[in-house]
Structure 1
């Protein structure tokens, strides 16, 4: 079984941009969940540049959760976005660059109803893996479910009241 171990942070300033290079535009849609588990798994279709993926993510346990991802034809992903995702769409540009020790930062710049939100993620080989925290890194939001892309598709950042 594949496991994703990921820490997520807000971005405090633009200091990351110098290392970021060119980003990849992503459009991802989230399927309506009819599964009766709480919380349900996340089912996502993503178009990332010229490639597309279907992903199933399990329930979080700390900063870990199961993840199954499969490449699919872009035309299939476009059809799924239209037919299954409705308004549950997140659009962003992802910038990926080295974090040292073979790790990588992924900074997401969100658009449309999530405009103004910037997050940084680092995927780790183990939960206890140490990493360098750059000065542009803000507060950790790994445990805050509002910042998952699935949640942002249902309750966009620009509509938050707090």
Structure 2
């Protein structure tokens, strides 16, 4: 299914978002292509469902995105072909001021990193920002899941929301 994704991403300052968090979902995801190509992502969700996503960059914040459900066993096999590390994180849906935020708490190589993102209807949208957000990292490649999968490790300063 084709969609247009427009999102902003932030470091998370503290855990106060947890009081509004929905049920968590454990995600494992990896990328199946080289860094200079359009990303092809495989994602395993709670070990019981899976999706394959292809994204195409466009100018600005928007990206074309095609996403398909795939069999869990095929996703597990595809994870073995990852071009880099498998990203492990727990995702929470958090409602704030009528908007839905995804808060990702990373595990594994990126334990200690927590990012929040919001999908918007347009690039002009200006959502109210919760107090638990740290600095904005939209467009900072080192905070993209794809770059994290390809990198060896974020420096400790990069993981520090106050830094």
Establish whether TM, by shorter chain, passes 0.5.
yes
Output the CA distance in 1 between the equivalents of 2:91 and 2:120. Answer: 18
SS, match of residue 76 in structure 1:
helix
For the pair 1:118 / 2:114, whether they are aligned, the reply is: yes
Match of 2:60 in 1: 62
Q: Is the 8 A contact 1:95 1:108 kept in 2?
A: yes
- 8 A contact 2:34–2:83 mirrored in 1: no
Instruction: Note if 1:46 corresponds to 2:43.
Output: yes
Tell me the residue number matched to 2:142: 146
SS in 1 for 2:57: coil
**Structure 2: runs of 5+ lacking an equivalent:** 159-163
TM-score normalised by structure 2 residue count? 0.87
Superposition CA RMSD, Å: 1.9
Deviations 1:25-76 (A, max 9, x none): 0000111328xxxx42111000112210000111253221111110111111
Counterpart CA distance in 2 for 1:147 and 1:122 is: 15
Name the structure 1 match of 2:30. Answer: 29
CA distance in 1, matches of 2:14, 2:75: 33
Match of 1:130 among 122, 126, 133: 126
Structure 1 residues 158 and 110 mapped into 2: Cα distance closer, same or farther (>3 Å)? Answer: same
Q: Shift of residue 130 of structure 1?
A: 2.1
- For 1:32 and 1:116, the matched residues in 2 are separated by 27
Query: Runs (4+) of structure 1 moved beyond 3 Å?
Result: 156-162
Give the length in aligned residue pairs. 156
